Amino acid sequence: MNESLYTEFPQRTYYNRVKDRIKELKLPKAVRKDAVTMCGFICTSDREYFDKLTQTEQKRFFIASYDFLKNRYGINNIVAATVHYDEKTPHMHCFIVPVTENGRLSAKSIFTRTELRNLQSDYPKYMNDKGFEIERGISSDGKRKHLDTQEFKIQTKQQEIDKNNKTLNSKFETVKDIIQNISHIENIEKKKSLLGNKVTLKADDYNMLVDMAKQGVYNSDDIRDLKKINKSQAERILSNKRDFSDVFDRAKEFEKKIINMKKGANDSKRLHDAMFETLNKYDLLPEANENFKIIREKAIMARKALNKSKEFDYER
């Protein structure tokens, strides 16, 4: 189950919300094609923490997180905030347009190293003030790299598998202890009853056997369930790794295309510079500009004539 905490213009796509916000800024220059126009946050904690919270408390947790981001970066700059309850660990994705206090579009100016460090301290402090006991994240100090969403999910799944393995090993140790205790059964004092082939035991010995039998059944069920969970988690993380690999391959292909485009642009620039130098050397630049102007005017006239022809065909 997903829930959107952002209620402004729900019918608009993320792209259009970002575009609308940038338009409101009335920037003096056009936005560069490589400019960062949207930044994302993931607000969450570990699975054990959320298991202790009721559904109402979980909702209050994410509303408080949303309020923190609104207050810090401005409600007008938020374009989306969606809570995911349908995954193993509940979490919220929040996206903002990086607008500075003086109305500039600049992610680099906002998310400095200092701001990111302060964010890791200020967020848990704010949440603690709201009644949620969460700890500060581990400081990177240049040693830990940033994780994108896909890597974060893969790492989270791996942590869940490690946790399940730890629990599974604990259960095996319990079963091992039970097996060792079985050896004591041979030493239990038993007497033959006067009623058929039945035997009588001391009350303490009988109770010990009953407890061991119950514990064996419980652990058997736990181990079976944990094996199923572990297998499912392993399949999920393998699937996520494959997805990440596909994304990485596509990114590499895109990077190659960009390199080729840059190379083509550089070749075109060199050709343009050589042509300009030649025309200027022989004093042909004014004549070339005039010819180019005539060609451009003819192209505009031809385009208009083509459009009129299409309109005429349409009317018929």
pLDDT tens for 166-222 read 776 776 666 666 556 655 555 555 554 544 556 565 666 666 666 666 666 556 666
pLDDT for residue 50? 92
pLDDT band at 314 (very low <50, low <70, confident <90, very high): very low
How deeply is 96 buried, as exposed, middle or buried, from its count of CB atoms within 10 A (0-12, 13-18, 19+)? buried
Mean pLDDT of 99-124: 93
Structure confidence at residue 225 (pLDDT) = 67
pLDDT at 117 over 50: yes
Query: What percentage of the chain has pLDDT greater than the value 70?
Result: 67
272 DSSP β-pair partners: none
Confidence of residue 258 (pLDDT cuts 50, 70, 90): confident
Write the pLDDT tens digit of every residue in 2-57.
889 987 877 788 889 999 999 999 999 899 888 999 999 999 998 889 999 999 99
pLDDT greater at residue 228 or residue 135: 135
Nearest to 21 by CA among 110, 111, 103: 103
| pLDDT of the residue at 22 | 93
Average pLDDT, integer, range 234-238: 72
Structure confidence at residue 251 (pLDDT) = 73
- Indicate the fold that domain 2-143 takes in CATH: BirA Bifunctional Protein; domain 2 (3.30.930)
Q: What is the pLDDT of residue 11?
A: 78
Domain boundary assignment for the chain? 2-143, 157-231
Average pLDDT, the chain: 78
Q: Which residues of 62-72 are buried (b: 16+ CB within 10 A; e: fewer)?
A: bbbbbebbbeb
Q: What is the reported pLDDT for 6?
A: 84
Mean pLDDT, range 281-310, rounded to an integer: 77
- Residue 74 above 80 pLDDT? yes
Mean pLDDT of 269-282: 77
In this structure, the strands spanning 199-201 and 190-192 are antiparallel
SS3 letters across the chain: CEEECCCCCCCCCHHHHHHHHHHHHCCCCCCCCCCCCCEEEEEECCHHHHHCCCHHHHHHHHHHHHHHHHHHHCHHHEEEEEEECCCCCCEEEEEECCECCCCCECHHHHCCHHHHHHHHHHHHHHHHHCCCCCCCCCCCCCCCCCCCHHHHHHHHHHHHHHHHHHHHHHHHHHHHHHHHHHHHHHHCCEEECCCCCCEEECHHHHHHHHHHHHHHHHHHHHHHHHHHHHHHHHHHHHHHHHHHHHHHHHHHHHHHHHHHHHHHHHHHHHHHHHHHHHHHHCCCHHHHHHHHHHHHHHHHHHHHHHHHHHHHHHHC
pLDDT greater than 70 at residue 64 = yes
Residues 208/183, Cβ–Cβ less than 8 Å: no
The pLDDT, as a whole number, for residue 194 is 46
Mean pLDDT of 251-278: 77
Reported confidence tier of residue 149, pLDDT bands at 50, 70, 90: low
- The stretch 279-293 carries a mean pLDDT of 77
